[in-house]
Amino acid sequence: MFSSLLIANRGEIACRVMRTARRMGMRIIAVYSEADTHAQHVKLADEAHLLGPAPAVQSYLDIEAVVAVAKATGAQAIHPGYGFLSENAAFAEACASAGVTFVGPSAESIRAMGSKIEAKRLIAAAGTPVVPGYHGDDQSDVRLLAEAREIGFPVLIKASAGGGGKGMRQVSDEKDFAAALAGARREAKSAFADDRMLLERYLQAPKHLEIQILADRRGHTLYLFERDCSVQRRHQKVIEEAPGPTVTETQRESMGRAAVQAAKAIDYVGAGTVEFIAEGEVFYFMEMNTRLQVEHPVTELITGLDLVEWQLRIAADESLNIEQDSLNRNGHAIEARIYAENPRRKFLPSTGKLVRVKFPDRVRTDSGIVEGDVVSMYYDPMLAKVIAHGRDREEARVRLIRALAEVELAGVEHNVSYLRGILNHAAFRGGDYTTGLLEQHHDELLIAHSNLGVICAVLALKELTSGSGVWESTDGFRLNLPRGYRQQLERNRKLVSVVVTDDVVAVGDAEHKVSDVTWNGSTLACLVDDQWIEARVVFDGKSIFVIRNGDTERLEVHEEDVDALAQDVSVADRIISPMPGQVISLAVRVGDEVAEGDVLLVIEAMKMEHNINAPRRGKISGIVCAVGERVEEGIELVTLEAP
């Protein structure tokens, strides 16, 4: 077994690999970018080495720099995690040339499956059905459009070298094809340095099922059952579970055999995942991921196996001493991915300093963040994964809902309450959901912010300002404050006026009866309209974060002389950036007339593209940004005047 291991990744996967490697007695070497100088994977390693600037292409994707660190530190093996260089054949070859073991398959296997086009050809030749589509070499826009017409709309554009939803677009109408293709090419080129595309028929009600495999160097290959990964937004997985709630034993065995057949066809070694799209009992091969998957914990919990340990053992040339017939499924496991994003704003990513971080200890949590860390614009927005295991699906589901209610995150927008909404939704509870679940039920899944957050924020601010237990007093005394306490807060960039008098809190025109208020400096509890409320309240400058049941509402203390942003946002003719990012394309010029919904420009943030659309008809009177420019949230981009 290896005595030293370099982990060529960051965040939660680096920390997760470290956990197993440390248990196995290895010296752990981390690498990091300038943006990750104080990251947890750096602090947890035995030693850490700087690769370069924040952009991944200058740090985590720099093969020469990573291999140089491995050679300088005497690392015997490199674990690539997932993303970054994990499916890069040139990196696997560079490791071999440097005499360092790559914890993964051979470069030849990576190449065989790395191109979705070549993979589909290979798998189809081996007898496994593939989704009808175009996987040809002619990549001209004219040919791709012609093939899309032949397949029929809706059609799915996919990056040949893609993954994680990057370089993928669903197109329902031919008129949108050219723009979608250009965006997919651009995103794929940025993420994978490969802009080749394939086309697939878009299945209307599919399940996304995947089979976990393990294979040693002697050709012994196992399938570790399936995972249902159909809960997706923007083609990225959000919730995964194992086993699949609608998968029959016949389908399980058929997909398992097909996955093993695919692995053997390319002499696969290590842990990998074969992904299928299914409608009923019929399934089609989609792709093979030649690496560890984000959702691997659910498989670990139902099989009792440590997949990272087996990756390392297989890489060290140990035999896989497990037989297919000896594998058993133990109960059910469900994983929820926590992202720094705002579901209420089309899942726009969010950046900032984490002023409060607390995860539940009753279930498994894989995370690479702690309080005080900064979520930057440079990397994937996933913050953590919370995974619950139960004797059956319902027990796992309920445990995960309760665990997510205990999550406390403040400093960035996040999707925890959205995840709880999914788990509580009837479509998910039934198990027979498809990849269209989130799109079909988006509005139902959003938990609306009531006045409770505002009430908690004002009461905590009032207690903090007064410095006394004024709510316990019965004589009307208020230290340094008038009997009626007034405060203005900003919620979603809109002003909210609050007045507190005796046992009534008025939020705008709505009055709420409040009593039994207690405040211990961090947690506020009270009765609001006979409903018992308890919330964590975190102050950070003028920001107040109210955390209840996993949800976080951010409010700002309003001051007249610092209201510039709110005023700017309210001006209809100034189009501002909704997030920090980089302008990667401009679709308009000064003088152009645009219709509501037209794309004005595209911003890249957290490895994904985001269109900035016209809010109404108008004429472009000014452009105050340029392609390649980095912009901050709230910065003006385009000026739009009446037509």
Say which amino acid occupies 250: T
CA atoms within 13 A on the CB side of 493: 10
User: 103 and 311 in contact (C-beta within 8 Å)?
Assistant: yes
CA distance 188 to 196: 8
Q: Which two tokens stand for residue 207?
A: 């399940």
User: 453 and 548 in contact (C-beta within 8 Å)?
Assistant: yes
CA distance 301 to 316: 24
Beta-carbon neighbour count of residue 25 at 10 Å? Answer: 9
CA distance 185 to 196: 7
SS3 618: strand
SS3 608: strand
Output phi, psi for 452, to 5 deg.
Answer: -60, -40
Strands (E), 217-351: 221-233, 236-242, 270-279, 282-289, 332-339, 341-342, 348-349
Rg over alpha carbons for the chain, rounded to the nearest Å, is 26
User: 382 and 11 in contact (C-beta within 8 Å)?
Assistant: yes
Length of the chain: 643
Residue 425's closest CA among 459, 401, 393?
Answer: 401
- Tally of helices (H runs) and strands (E runs) in the chain: 18, 39
User: 513 and 503 in contact (C-beta within 8 Å)?
Assistant: yes
Indicate if 291 belongs to the active site: yes
Which helix or strand (DSSP H or E) is residue 267 part of? Answer: none
Helix spans in 56-176 (H):
63-73, 89-97, 107-114, 116-125, 141-151
Beta-carbon neighbour count of residue 281 at 10 Å? Answer: 11
Strands (E), 160-206: 168-171, 197-201
CA distance 528 to 530: 5
Sequence-separated (6 or more) residues with CB below 8 Å from residue 253: none
The alpha carbon dihedral of 580, 584, 590, 593 has a sign of negative
* Cis before 80? omega within 30: no
The catalytically annotated residue of 169, 227, 252, 291 is: 291
Query: Residues with catalytic annotation?
Result: 291
